[in-house]
Structure 1
Amino acid sequence: MEGIMTRTVIDVAKVIDEQRMGSLHWKVVILSFVIMLTDGYDTVCVAYVAPLLRQEWNFSPAAFGPLFASGLLGAALGPVLVGHLADRVGRKPIILTGTLWFGVLTLAAVFAQSLNQLMILRFLAGLGIGGVLAIGTALVAEFAPRRIRATMIVMGVVGVALGGGLGGLMAALVLGHTSWHIVFWIGGLIPIALAVIGYFVFPESAKFLTLKPERWDELTKLLKILSPSLHVPADAKFVLGDEANAPKFSFKALFLGRLAAITPLLWVSNFLALLQLYFVNQWTPLLLTGQGTSVPRAALATAAFQICGFLGALAITRPVDRWGFAPVPALFAVGALVVGLIGMPGGSEMWVIALSGLSGFCVIGIQFANIASQSQVYPTYIRSWGVGVCYTFGRCGSVVGPLFAGVLVGFNVSINTLFYISGTLMGFGFVVALVLVPLYRKQLSEMQTAQAI
């Protein structure tokens, strides 16, 4: 009919997928990387000072489990508490509020006077630490072109692994010359500063804004930065062509179609990966100090684990972009052997540190493959929630690992035996990952076909 105008429809997902890495992408990746650097440092920083805290506060070795688990329990709850909120109000405000939150509470640990006080502060800080990691992953994924999505996601969040490693090196250098308080001063002040900087430079997710018609003016400005040549008419309608988004959130959406199998399998993969990550990371220094190694030298095992894990995370990016979940079973298989070898008695200090590094390459490589994969299988309207619940199950593993280890140590189970048990669980992860490989491949293939249509 004459006089009827057809609104221009702009597929924001297609616009994003057609872009090369530009200044906006780098801004998102770099700021996310630096925030995740502090997130990773604050997650494991208590492990660096645990032996010194025991000397000062005189508690039993069994108390290490609850101490390590307190922050990890908070990190397990954080993604669940803020994931749905980020799907409603936006990624940016939740990331910055969470960063400020864990910075302030890590700084407060400087003034802790007892083990109980420190555990409470670590739990509260963990809420922000876990939430920031999950929502940050979703934000980077939503700016990333599909062909390099896994690479860009890992670039944005791999600072988590490096942060823990650099913290271990710092601890090895300074803890022999100053008190344990310096670890929390650093872990508190830096994220507070980053939250302020991020308020002025961090953009909101373009895909999130697409689902909010009342914020399309903001989306239009962002798209012109992302793609200066893109013409956006004043009456344009924005859609996401590669996703089936619903008007309202539904928990059942996490289990629609093939996700009914993928979602719980991803939960198990995350659970096992983070169980290994925090168990090896936090108990290897105690294994070494029990054999007579000094605290600063034992911190090198944590540094080796985290830095080699950083390399593992980088190494996994292109294989995941090319072959999906296929590299993960191999990392589980190698990791099972290496983690078990750490527990073998008679190993020299350098041998244990080297094995810790190799286990970090495998374990953190697995977790970043999980991160890069799970952020791609959920549509935007439930992405923060979907990724957040995956992180929650992972964090449950991070709590169970150190806590269960502490209980077993209380029953006089040797630390060496704990590593044998841990290696066996990695073998179970190998089976889970094998099942996930074809399911993940088919899910992505269907999403790509939908966008092409």
Structure 2
Amino acid sequence: MAAATKTVEEVLREGGFTAFHRRIVAITGFAWTFVAFEIIIISLVLPVIGAEFGIFDLLTFTATDPVQYGAIAAATLVGSFIGSLVLGRVADARGRRTVFLLSILWYSVFTAATALSWNIASVIGFRLLAGLGLGGMLVVDPAILSEFLPPQSRGRFMVLLDFFWPLGFLLAIGFWWLFIVSGVTVAGIDPWRVLFVAAAFPALIAAIARLAIPESPFYYARHGRLAESASVLTRITGKPVDPASLTKEQTVPMAPMRALFRGGLRRRSGVTISTWIALNFSYYGLFLWLPTILPGFGVAELAQTSYVGLFLVASALAQFPGYLASMVLVERWGRKRTLALFLILGGVSGLVFATASTFAVVLVGLAFVSFFNLGAWGAVYPYTSELFPTQYRATGF
């Protein structure tokens, strides 16, 4: 009988990057694309939804009921906050796979249900419910991906997951232009309703594809289920792994969430929360309102829909090199230093953008905000995934 000398991490390191990893990156990335699609679509169709229900004036491009108008934009984020807290805990206690499967299914159902909205309250309700599933995806997807990847590849492929985000951004702009700006209709259905169905369908396909993904080998090993952990590791590496050769992962009883703010985890949690608040505030605060605020810069070109579309495309395209730079730097320079650099330069770019008064400066400022903000997102996932022990990882996210 083989001696129990290897940890899951060591087996993953020795196995290297395999075809299994390509599949799981593709499956999680596909879902990431349409999460971005749906989030950006909200910002693009919000004026149209508001106009249909009498809370937005398209002629003056202002909200006649700012509270309800803002509630529609915020509902998904509120739901996501709740979902991340609850489902992150469930994933740590009961395993990643269940939440990995159910969160995207829940999300796709209520995203599609948004198309059936009959008043403002129903729009807000469906967006809140969809956000619950979104919150589960945002914490569990990176957690489970990080636990399948070999440590020497983890940083760059965690960044690669975020590389799928601007693809969804560009798709959202394309669909917005086709259905909202150009006025293409399907069976006489309101274009904004078609867009929510379009966002839900690929998410449902992604939910089906996720059935092929097993439970995390770390989760099995932590619970002493070494035969199952070895079976998953065999699938991942393509090489037989003897259960008797595995050591059980250190088991720490599931503690209340306040344990994240005790001892050695207190500082980590504080830094992580501050960083994620800054990133979420800057990203969603900008891009959820970008189509609405651009005309307010007082630049003549930004009053034209074609130029707004150009700005959106430019901001999406700038995200790709941001991710690429982050992907290289997190491996060569380190997660923390890369994240700090991108956060600082993102803040400087935001100041330039916010104070711009000419077309060129607004465009360049927005491009640099996108570059550094999304590069920071690429660095924060591998950084966060390695800050917390396995039993707290999804909750930490």
Which TM-score band applies after superposition, normalised by the shorter structure? 0.7 to 0.9
Seen in structure 2, the aligned counterparts of structure 1 residues 326 and 96 have a Cα distance that, compared at 3 Å, is same
| 218, 242, 247: which one aligns with 1:238 | 247
Q: 1:197 aligns with which of 196, 204, 209?
A: 209
| Cα distance in 1, alignment partners of residues 44 and 81 from structure 2 | 21
Secondary structure of the corresponding residue to residue 326 of structure 1: helix
Distance in 2 of aligned mates of 1:264 and 1:364: 21
Contact 1:35 1:191 in 2 (8 A): yes
Structure 2 runs not aligned, ≥5 long = 57-62, 185-190
Partner in structure 1 of residue 280 of structure 2: 274
- For residues 310 and 122 of structure 1, the distance between their equivalents in structure 2, rounded to whole angstroms, comes to 28
Q: CA deviation at 1:309?
A: 2.4
Which residue identity lines up with residue 152 of structure 2 in the other structure? R
Describe the superposition over 1:248-300 as per-residue Cα deviations: whole angstroms up to 9, x where unpaired: 34435424554321211110111011100011112221123455634464244
**Counterparts in 2 of 1:334 and 1:156: CA distance versus 1, 3 Å:** closer
2:113 is the alignment partner of 1:108 = yes
Structure 1 residues 138-153: aligned runs within 5 Å: 138-153=143-158
Aligned partner of 1:320 among 297, 322, 330: 330
Deviating more after overlay: 202-211 vs 257-266: 257-266
**Aligned-pair CA distance for 1:313:** 2.4
1:163 to 137, 160, 168: 168
Q: Specify whether residues 81 and 187 from structure 1 end up closer, same or farther in structure 2 by C-alpha distance, changes over 3 A only.
A: same
Q: Show the counterpart of 2:341.
A: 330
Distance 1:254-1:297 versus aligned 2 partners, 3 A rule: same
Where do 5+ consecutive residues of structure 1 fail to align?
388-453
**For residues 289-334 of structure 1, what are the alpha-carbon distances to aligned partners after superposition, in whole Å with 9 as ceiling and x for unaligned?**
4556344642443443334224322321231223231122322232
Counterpart in the other structure of 2:137: 132
Shift, 1:112, TM fit: 1.2
Given that residues 91 and 204 in structure 1 are in contact (C-alpha distance below 8 angstroms), is that contact kept between their aligned partners in structure 2?
Answer: yes
Write the deviation string for residues 46-104 of structure 1: whole angstroms up to 9, x where unpaired. Answer: 11111222332221422432221111111111110101111122212211111111111
Contact 1:106 1:121 in 2 (8 A): yes
Change in 2 beyond 3 A, CA 1:202/1:295: farther
Q: Could you tell me how far apart the structure 2 residues matched to 1:202 and 1:299 are?
A: 38
Aligned to 2:308: 298
SS in 1 for 2:134: helix
Task: Tell me, in whole angstroms, the C-alpha distance in 2 between the residues paired with 1:206 and 1:78.
Answer: 24
Question: Are positions 1:39 and 2:35 aligned together?
Answer: yes
Q: CA 1:113–1:386 in 2, change beyond 3 Å: closer, same or farther? A: same
Determine helix, strand or coil for the equivalent of 2:247.
strand
Offset at residue 237 of structure 1 (A): 4.5
Distance 1:301 1:115 in 2: 29
Contact 1:28–1:156 (Cα < 8 Å) also in 2: no
In 1, the alpha carbon distance for the partners of 2:137 and 2:23 equals 17
2:195 to 183, 191, 209: 183
> What TM-score results when the alignment is normalised by the length of structure 2?
0.87
Q: In the alignment, which residue of structure 1 is the partner of 2:4?
A: 8
In the comparison of the two structures, how many residue pairs are matched? 376
Q: Which amino acid aligns with 1:86?
A: A
After superposition, residues 282-431 of structure 1 pair within 5 angstroms as: 282-290=288-296, 293-295=303-305, 297-322=307-332, 323-344=334-355, 346-348=357-359, 351-387=361-397
- CA RMSD, Structure 1 to Structure 2 (Å): 2.3
Determine which of 51, 54, 58 is the counterpart of 1:55. Answer: 51
Query: How many percent of aligned residue pairs carry the same amino acid?
Result: 22
In structure 2, the residue corresponding to 1:239 is in which secondary structure?
coil
TM-score by length of 1: 0.77
Q: In the alignment, what sits opposite 2:188?
A: none
Counterpart CA distance in 2 for 1:302 and 1:123 is 25
> Once structures 1 and 2 are overlaid, which stretch shifts more, 287-296 or 52-61?
287-296
- Name the CA shift for 1:231/1:180 in 2 (closer, same or farther; >3 Å): closer
Change (3 A) 1:345 1:14: closer
Shift of 1:236: 4.7
Matched-pair contact (CA < 8 Å) for 2:155–2:382: yes
Provide Cα deviations, 1:359-382, integer angstroms capped at 9, x if missing partner.
Answer: 111112222222120111111111
- The equivalences for 1:71-90 within 5 A come to 71-90=76-95
Report the secondary structure of 1:204's partner residue: coil
3-state SS of paired residue (2:6): strand
Q: Distance in 2 between matches of 1:128 and 1:310?
A: 26
